[in-house]
Amino acid sequence: MREIKVAVLLGGTSPERDVSIISGKYVTQGLREAGYIVKPIDPALGINQPENEEELFISAIRETPPTEEELARYSNKNVIECINSYLFDDIDVVFIILHGKWGEDGTVQALLDLRGIKYTGSGVLASAIGIDKNMSKIVFKHHGVQTPDWFVIRKNKIDIKEIQRKIEKTFSYPCVVKPNDQGSTVGLTVVKCPEEVEPAIELAFKYSDLILVEDFIEGKELTVGILGNMALPVIEIIPKGGIYDYYHKYTKGATEYIVPAEIPEKWSTALKEQALIAFESIGCKGFARVDFRVKENGEIYCLEINTIPGMTGTSLVPKAARAAGIEFPELVDKIVKLALEK
């Protein structure tokens, strides 16, 4: 068979840009090991891609996401120009490994649909719902996937006193305030008392025009990767101190991961079942990762679905796949094959 040409889309314009670059570096290597011809492309650079692909990559993810000023160097106009350019003329399939807005949210998927080029993972609608935590939770609830109680606040309707009253009337403190469509725990606060509500809301609104106030679920942090139509072994996440924030997600040694999770068999069966329902209810394709919290009594709460989960060497889906006997090159190969079947 003729060799298959894959473009790996990495980087992008969201605060998860650095994570995406590292994911993209690993995906590029893995696909080459699997025998594909691979062209890594950062759409945020437009059509001016460096001649030496090494210039696309960074060596490590920093402790904090890129600043607003750093991100201002990249534009979505570049993304449109890039995807609409000759760079994709000879590409058989695109491996999208952009995380967050303008990549994981259906926009890049729509551009590729318009160009008639196949791509990995979920389509436009599932991507758009998946990035929208509020919409995802509505769909989860409808399909019997339990999710923490929540309400939303819109940017033009902020009344702090009213919000504090609402929290006290519903799930009380601690609660979680987070942007509706941001990943990597960026803009998220665990709010412990009424005084903390205002700063938490201000922070979350920096990242999104819609924010979620959610019941805080005390318990274990567990996540389930999905590949094709199969749930991978459950992973338990234990951040060493504090919550599972940007620092704990991307700093080596800051978090302990147990895979397969040492939990009762009943829990892991239920988690895998719930993860698959969550995946299917939204209409996801190819791969994804579903994040959960589980109370001591075994009650499961789905936090969100990630339609383009991290794929760095230390990321969770690759770890779970490895526990299932699937090494990284085989994992990315399977994801591409699923895309070509579409």
Ligand X SMILES: Nc1ncnc2c1ncn2[C@@H]1O[C@H](COP(=O)(O)OP(=O)(O)O)[C@@H](O)[C@H]1O
Residue that the structure tokens 């199969």 belong to: 230
Q: CA 49 to CA 43: how far, in whole Å?
A: 8
Which of Mg ion, ligand X, none binds 221 (CB below 5-8 Å, type-dependent)? Answer: ligand X
Q: Which is nearer to ligand X, 136 or 281 (CB)?
A: 136
Q: Which is nearer to ligand X, 93 or 303 (CB)?
A: 303
From the list 255, 260, 225, the residue with the least C-alpha distance to 238 is 255
Binding flags for ligand X, 248-287, as an x/- string (CB under 6 A): ----------------------------------------
Query: Which residue among the candidates 11, 12, 16, 301 is catalytic per the annotation?
Result: 16
Binding flags for ligand X, 144-173, as an x/- string (CB under 6 A): ----x-------------------------
Q: CA 80 to CA 82: how far, in whole Å?
A: 5
Binding status of residue 236 toward ligand X by CB under 6 A? no
Where residue 29 falls (left for φ over 0; alpha for ψ -120 to 50; beta otherwise) is alpha
Of 6, 139, 176, 316, the one binding ligand X by CB under 6 A: 176
Query: Which residue among the candidates 289, 293, 301, 315 is catalytic per the annotation?
Result: 289
Amino acid letter for position 17: R
Query: Which residue among the candidates 78, 122, 136, 184 is catalytic per the annotation?
Result: 184
Q: Which is nearer to ligand X, 208 or 281 (CB)?
A: 208
To the query of whether residue 291 is one of the catalytic residues in this protein, the response is yes
To the query of whether residue 73 is one of the catalytic residues in this protein, the response is no
Residue that the structure tokens 């952009």 belong to: 98
For β-strands 93-96 and 118-119, DSSP reports them as parallel
Q: Could you give phi then psi for residue 139, rounded to 5 degrees?
A: -65, -45
Which of ligand X, Mg ion, none binds 176 (CB below 5-8 Å, type-dependent)? Answer: ligand X
Q: Which residue is nearest to ligand X (CB)?
A: 244
CB of 310 to ligand X, least distance (A): 10
Q: CA 170 to CA 149: how far, in whole Å?
A: 8
Give, as ranges, the residues between 178 and 197 that touch ligand X (CB under 6 A): 183-185, 188
Q: Which two tokens stand for residue 102?
A: 């303008």
Q: Which two tokens stand for residue 324?
A: 């299932």
CB 287 within 8 A of CB 227: yes
Q: Which is nearer to ligand X, 153 or 188 (CB)?
A: 188
Query: Which residue among the candidates 36, 244, 250, 301 is catalytic per the annotation?
Result: 250
To the query of whether residue 165 is one of the catalytic residues in this protein, the response is no
Give, as ranges, the residues between 45 and 74 that touch ligand X (CB under 6 A): none
Of 82, 83, 303, 320, the one binding ligand X by CB under 6 A: 303
Classify 199 as helix, strand or coil.
Answer: helix
Query: Which residue among the candidates 132, 215, 291, 333 is catalytic per the annotation?
Result: 291
Of 221, 275, 281, 309, the one binding ligand X by CB under 6 A: 221
Binding status of residue 214 toward ligand X by CB under 6 A? yes
Q: CA 285 to CA 47: how far, in whole Å?
A: 29
What does the CA dihedral 181, 183, 187, 188 come to, rounded to 10 degrees? 100
Of 304, 320, 328, 332, the one binding ligand X by CB under 6 A: 304
Determine whether 7 is exposed, middle or buried from the number of CB atoms within 10 Å of its CB (0-12, 13-18, 19+): buried
Residues that bind ligand X (CB under 6 A): 148, 176, 183-185, 188, 214-217, 221, 243-244, 291, 293, 303-304
